[in-house]
Amino acid sequence: MKGIVTSIAMFLASAVYAQDTRPLARDDAAVADWFIVPPSIQAIAQSRRPERRTPAVRAAAAEQSEALAQGAVCGDIALQGDRIGTHAGPGACGVEDAVRLRSVSGVLLSTPAIIDCTTARALRTWLDDGLLPAVGSEGGGVASIRVVAHYACRARNNVAGARLSEHASGRAIDIAGIGLRDGQEITVLTGWNSNDDSQQLRRMWRAACGPFGTVLGPQANQLHRDHFHFDTARYRSGSYCR
């Protein structure tokens, strides 16, 4: 009798176990997004089968999340880089509470960008809600973004005597292309009017309007035919997007 009860209990337990294959909760999915961890370790570490989480896997996962926490800037583990404090520039140029941002939600910046935290957070919002959904799994998904300008002590549109650009205070970033995991790149220059990438690029551009105060692309003017300019200047009339 005791044997039968045990068998029934084991059967029920395994049945419950087998059913425990529901998709990851929203939070787990968000965590998975920014983890730069080999998928196998990541998958096992998050597996709901405890016997697969060996002490070594647990230790590796803990070590990696600790490393991420150490590299986090602006109080957000999805923003990886270095805090650099005041980045002094000549004259009115310079950035207060600047960071050197290396990656956002696991997506590498082609060159570390010196920007402030408001701009770093806006970049994350655009990336998570605009860029990543627009690209989806094409080319294996987004690996990097090609940053062609960040902090720079210069006037608007490089015109001497014009007002200082938002780049001069670390509130702007220029992006010329999206690197995919298979090595291909979606570029603003060739993609904006191409059959292949036009829709995705326009979707990305539109999604930046809101998180950023100024959004410029190829439709704005000739100067922006090959890149998006995003900045966090705020206007009383709302975002300016062209």
Length of the chain: 242
Encoded tokens for 123? 């970049």
Going residue by residue from 92 to 111, which x/- string records binding to Zn ion, judged by CB under 5 A?
Answer: --------------------
**Nearer Cβ to Zn ion (132/172):** 172
Burial group, residue 109, by CB count within 10 angstroms (0-12, 13-18, 19+):
buried
DSSP 14-36: HHHHHH--PPPPHHHHHHHHH--
Segment 156-175, which members bind Zn ion (CB under 5 A)?
A: 172, 174
Tell me the closest approach of the beta carbon of residue 149 to Zn ion, in angstroms.
Answer: 5
Tell me the closest approach of the beta carbon of residue 172 to Zn ion, in angstroms.
Answer: 5
Going residue by residue from 172 to 191, which x/- string records binding to Zn ion, judged by CB under 5 A?
Answer: x-x-----------------
Tell me the closest approach of the beta carbon of residue 229 to Zn ion, in angstroms.
Answer: 3
Evaluate the CA torsion angle 130, 132, 137, 139 in order and state its sign. positive
Strand partners, 162: none
Applying CB under 5 A, the span of 40-48, 124-132, 207-215, 223-231 interacting with Zn ion comes to 223-231
Encoded tokens for 157? 């549109």
DSSP-derived letter for residue 193 is T
**Nearer Cβ to Zn ion (128/174):** 174
**Nearer Cβ to Zn ion (174/185):** 174
Tell me the closest approach of the beta carbon of residue 113 to Zn ion, in angstroms.
Answer: 12
Q: Are 105 and 81 in contact (CB under 8 A)?
A: no
Q: Which residue is nearest to Zn ion (CB)?
A: 229
**Nearer Cβ to Zn ion (121/229):** 229
The one among 100, 124, 150, 229 contacting Zn ion by CB under 5 A:
229
> How many angstroms separate the Cα of 10 from the Cα of each of 3, 4, 14, 16, 17?
10, 10, 6, 10, 10
Applying CB under 5 A, the span of 72-80, 91-99, 195-203, 221-229 interacting with Zn ion comes to 221-229
Under rule CB under 5 A, residue 128 binds Zn ion: no
User: Torsions phi, psi of 92, nearest 5?
Assistant: -85, 0
Tell me the closest approach of the beta carbon of residue 37 to Zn ion, in angstroms.
Answer: 33
User: Torsions phi, psi of 101, nearest 5?
Assistant: -85, 125
Strands 228-231 and 214-216: antiparallel
Rounded Cα distance between 177 and 233, Å, is 23
Which chain residues interact with Zn ion by CB under 5 A? 172, 174, 229
